[in-house]
């Protein structure tokens, strides 16, 4: 499986934690293992 990247960004006085979108292959692997796909946006907080 390819890597899933995590990034944190400050946008418009918000701190956003985000994952890259899954590739088709990653989604297929998670689906075959009955694992729910993670949300792209992990967290949003006021700065």
Q: How confident is the model at residue 6 (pLDDT cuts 50, 70, 90)?
A: very high
pLDDT in the model for residue 42:
95
Averaged over 9-24, what is the pLDDT?
96
Q: Can you give the pLDDT at residue 4?
A: 92
Secondary structure of the chain as H, E, C letters: CCCCCEEEEEECCEEEEEECCCCHHHHHHHHHCCCCCCCCEEEEEEC
User: How is the chain split into domains, by residue range?
Assistant: 6-46
What are phi and psi for residue 12, nearest 5 degrees? 50, 55
């Amino acid at each position: 499986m390819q890597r899933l990247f995590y990034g944190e960004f400050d946008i418009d006085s918000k701190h956003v934690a985000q994952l890259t979108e899954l590739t088709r292959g990653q989604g297929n692997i998670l689906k075959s293992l009955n694992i729910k796909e993670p949300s792209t946006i992990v967290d949003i907080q006021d700065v």
